[in-house]
Chain A
Amino acid sequence: MTGEPGDYNDFSKVYDAWFPLLFRIVYRMTGRRDISEEVAQEAFIKYYERRDILPKDEGLKYWLIRVVRNLALNYEKRKGRERRAVERHFHEPTHETGHEGERALVREETIQEVQAALLKLPYNLRIVLILKEYGGFAYAEIGKMLGITEGNVKVRVFRARNQLAQLLGKEGT
Chain B
Amino acid sequence: MKTELYLLSAHADREVGPPWDQEIQRRIETDPVWAREWQTHQKVKAALAGLKDPAELEASQKQVRDRLEAFIEIKQNPIRHENTRLNFVRLLTTAAVFGLIVGGFGYWMGSHAASASASTVAEVHVKLPANYTPPLNGDSELIKMTSFEGSTR
Contact = CB atoms under 8 A, between A and B. Distances in A.
Task: State the majority secondary structure of interface residues on A.
Answer: helix
A132 interface: yes
Contact residue range for chain B? Answer: 35 or more
Interface stretch (B37-45, B85-93, B104-112, B123-131): B37-45
Nearest to B55: A33
A134 B63 CA distance: 22
B51 to A, nearest CB: 6
Contacts, number: 106
Nearest to A41: B64
Interface stretch (A70-78, A81-89, A155-163): A155-163
B26 interface: no
Contact residue range for chain A? Answer: 35 or more
Contacts of B67: 41
A45 B8 contact: no
Interface of B: 5-10, 13, 15, 35-41, 43-45, 47-54, 56-57, 60-61, 63-65, 67-68, 71-72, 75
Interface of A: 11, 15, 19-20, 23-24, 27-28, 33, 36-37, 40-41, 44-45, 48, 109, 111, 114-115, 118, 129, 132-134, 138-139, 154-155, 157-159, 161-162, 164-165, 168, 170-173
